[in-house]
Structure 1
């Protein structure tokens, strides 16, 4: 078999191992490849019938007429099908929509770094959706000397990627595509045009690897940082990965801890190949393969055995070709299903959901129940002094009853005392320090009630949402004390309470008692002075009846006023508690409930993303 071998190193781009038949044509193409790269793209865009050749040397050589019989040939006309965009349907589409909604609802509550991976998955999903669904991008990754480039060449049927003792051998990603229309995918992966190849045999739609785009990556353990960065970037973009390990480095901690363990959730798009089994004598290959399976199981990677989904693990020798056919058949079946991109994306969504779980999944069932709401209302009622206000209203009611139903002489005395107050000594007032102390105490009670309800509402919530709930409660509590003061004045400042129906009768009785006293005094005075010819007994009895009857009526009215006064005080207390509770609900409970509702919304979206049940979280 004749062909060309082109190194992946940029410095060695022009180094060509020449086959006798094609040396002239290939050398000429390599010399001008960079110069014509852009013109070929423009020609392909202007003339669709020509098609874009993705910068493959074989096709350029054929089009220039310099390649001879036996060289790499262009693909048949029927094989140059146009790429069709990927379409996500079913469960994956629902999960992506939920993830997009989840990120949107969480931007104001979570840090950008927390949502970074989820945003990257959404961006990659959109980018992959715009590209071809007829291609499956599979990367071959491995450590230095594992033989991944040899396996790459064996699958391609031609020596494309350089192999040898010089390390690192592969210095940039090299692509081999079995299908036209992969330029967008390769551009996304950053594979330069000069490193895009075709398999040795021009295959049509009937080829088992139809639709495969195979990428040979640099060594993941390369001493050069740029190589490791290229590997890490490519592993985030490809649809599947073939990990090539050898009998010496298959248990390398760097491989398992940096790649296989973090990508354990991507088992369905992972192939693990034990290469160089021709170096193992007897049953040693089976023993090493079993140990490799054990290590993968410890990494948490499911193995696709007994028909179960998971990673494919097999042994082969890329050098002798033993097992390569089996891997080729597996890859052909894998590519033919056209589901690798969706599987990879589903695994990415699973990984993003696992990373986000601590900020969305609560322990228990956080929220506010009726007990917490009632206790908060009672706490605000205590803070606003509802009990004291009720007692004051009760005393005021009884005092008004005494004023209305008391003896005229007592009312006259009270009027006299009130008239002397402006000119008399100043009434004793409490020290000025009492009011601020009382205000501070009330404010402290309000803060305590708010803190208690915030802790109750945020108990068990993930840290960001618990913080949001507390901040909402604190913001609402800033104006709460002032609002409660206004409500207290409005609730208790409605003027004198309404008089009961028996008050006029009591007042009339007091008037009659007063009349008795006046008549008794006049009658007695007339009898004593001889102006009236009556005995002293009768006016004395009238005077005594009026004198004793007035206090008796007052006492009776005071006793009768206790029940209505108590009811009035209780009504005042209830009204003030309800006003305080309503103010607290508007200022604190409603914002807290809004945050809890937002959390429930994002939790439902997260459950959809993670494939969980909202009741099973």
Structure 2
């Protein structure tokens, strides 16, 4: 019987998520069975103590062990009681700087996105982080490799051939492998196997073979149940463990190497894990002549269609080998390739990197965009203009200009024209005038303009953003728009047309004095003429008429001159009133709408930068 070594148990780790390169179609198939995986792990963890030892201190290998005892010499492999041996020192896994940076960026990305994305979207990234952390705490000197295949592919036979002893049961009955079996080529792998939920009674050690065993030092080989088994529990074992191991050996046979289930459910979603996968064409002894090469070429073609990079001509990728577990043909090549793969000690980190790639690829729609995003200065100015129109900034400026001109006319106009204008303003009947809009109508129109301005700026700010962030921008704008019309109304009252008389320029006193002089000349000329009529003064028509003509002509002329001179100051006064109102409306809109929108855009830029680090931009 095979020698068995007791292995220490560590705390059960959570299962990791899928992985893959950005641009792959999806992640590992194990991600869809996260809850069944966890339940299976908990169940196997609870059975560890019951199955650990029998009354003699040696582990009972169960049905498989008894069948092996019936066909082998029991004295050849004696059970080993490892309680007397001290456990070897275990060195944890160390990630390189690039991978650590990507994991830190992914953790930061998840943290920044929790309030913007739903938990289901971030679940995969969270699982990757958890499993990367769990794997890092375990042995870095061991590589866990699973052997997976369909019913009848001969994977258990290949497992036995690599171990050098009949550990996993083989036979005609299907399915033969009902539970995963672990075989470790060195001590210190107990925590890794415990993480897979494999109980001690299903853990083995290979037959000592000297140099062959030393080449595979650090290998932990897992024989999985058939992935196409009719038993649901078997498929759950496969999916769960495939999400946790460092590498996978896919065993196919000449009959099922093109099986759609294998390619669509496993190989194609795991295309990003090409560097940690082996594809072995077993049973080549059944193919006559050049048929083995033809099937192997067709298998490579199918893998290429799945998006799996093949490690040919020294390039990194999946290793494809033909073997016969029955005759031993190709087993040496597989053992050599596996020994080199394990000796590099890089599979765990490559698996984690591939998992990060797949998580990043699945997050692409919620982070990445090929369009330029943000709020342009033109959009900001247009938003301010819309708010200014809503509060009537232009009309307020025009009203201020008219007020300035009216004040100028009052100060510089002739008394007769002012009296005539007063009579027109108060004596004209109101019949026939168009009714002005009520204040309620004006407020409703202003509110609609404000709402339209907010919708427009929100649409422009969110254009090109991924859906969650575009929605966050629009929600921020909507929240800011609440109470904005009322706030603008208050600003209009405070910063609108100033009450009281507008200021006067320095030349106005001279204009008023000149107008008063013209009026006085008219009165003097008129009194002079009256004096001549009543014979109080000597007859002289020329001088009083001249005085009256000067007063009558000079008054309007001075008024016209003052009006021309007042246009510039009145226009500047109106523009200043309009500018103040525009500035106040723009400040209110910026504080309530633009600043929250800009904060959301800044958060998106921050998470997009972190996402760029996750996908390894520039590496």
| TM-score, length of structure 1 as denominator length | 0.84
What corresponds to 1:532 in structure 2? 537
Q: How do 1:202-601 residues align onto structure 2 when only pairs under 5 Å count?
A: 207-408=214-415, 434-495=438-499, 496-601=501-606
CA contact (8 A) 1:72 1:201 kept: no
CA contact (8 A) 1:75 1:203 kept: no
CA contact (8 A) 2:497 2:577 kept: no
CA contact (8 A) 1:156 1:199 kept: yes
Change (3 A) 1:175 1:425: same
Distance 1:310 1:356 in 2: 24
User: Which segment drifts farther, 396-405 or 486-495?
Assistant: 486-495
What corresponds to 1:22 in structure 2? none
Change (3 A) 1:505 1:363: same
Q: Deviations over 1:544-593 (max 9, x none)?
A: 43344333322221222122222222333333333333333222222222
Structure having greater relative contact order (Cα 8 Å, sep ≥ 6): 2
CA contact (8 A) 2:51 2:201 kept: no
Q: Deviations over 1:146-182 (max 9, x none)?
A: 1111111111122111111222111111111122222
Q: Deviations over 1:105-149 (max 9, x none)?
A: 111111211111111101110111111111111111111111111
CA contact (8 A) 1:73 1:202 kept: no
Change (3 A) 1:70 1:484: closer
1:219 shift after superposition: 0.7
Change (3 A) 1:191 1:96: same
Matched, 1:113 2:120: yes
- SS in structure 2 at match of 1:113: helix
What corresponds to 2:186 in structure 1? 179
CA contact (8 A) 1:55 1:196 kept: no
The RMSD of aligned alpha carbons is: 3.3
What corresponds to 1:170 in structure 2? 177
1:517 shift after superposition: 3.1
Distance 1:54 1:132 in 2: 24
Distance 2:446 2:561 in 1: 39
- SS in structure 2 at match of 1:109: coil
Change (3 A) 1:303 1:324: same
Runs of at least 5 residues in structure 2 that lack an aligned partner in the other structure: 5-47, 67-73
What corresponds to 1:85 in structure 2? 92
Change (3 A) 1:4 1:149: farther
1:536 shift after superposition: 4.6
Change (3 A) 1:36 1:454: closer
CA contact (8 A) 1:514 1:546 kept: yes
Q: Deviations over 1:316-365 (max 9, x none)?
A: 11122221122111111111111110000111111111111111111221
Count of residue pairs brought into register by the alignment: 566
Change (3 A) 1:205 1:324: closer
CA contact (8 A) 1:189 1:234 kept: yes
CA contact (8 A) 2:59 2:79 kept: no
Q: Deviations over 1:273-299 (max 9, x none)?
A: 111111111221111111111111110
| TM-score, length of structure 2 as denominator length | 0.84
CA contact (8 A) 1:54 1:196 kept: no
What corresponds to 1:37 in structure 2? 52
- SS in structure 2 at match of 1:207: helix
What corresponds to 1:605 in structure 2? 610
Distance 1:525 1:431 in 2: 50
User: Which segment drifts farther, 75-84 or 433-442?
Assistant: 75-84
Runs of at least 5 residues in structure 1 that lack an aligned partner in the other structure: 6-32, 44-52, 62-66
- SS in structure 1 at match of 2:148: strand
CA contact (8 A) 2:54 2:60 kept: no
Q: How do 1:95-114 residues align onto structure 2 when only pairs under 5 Å count?
A: 95-114=102-121
Distance 1:559 1:465 in 2: 56
Change (3 A) 1:77 1:507: same
Matched, 1:192 2:214: no
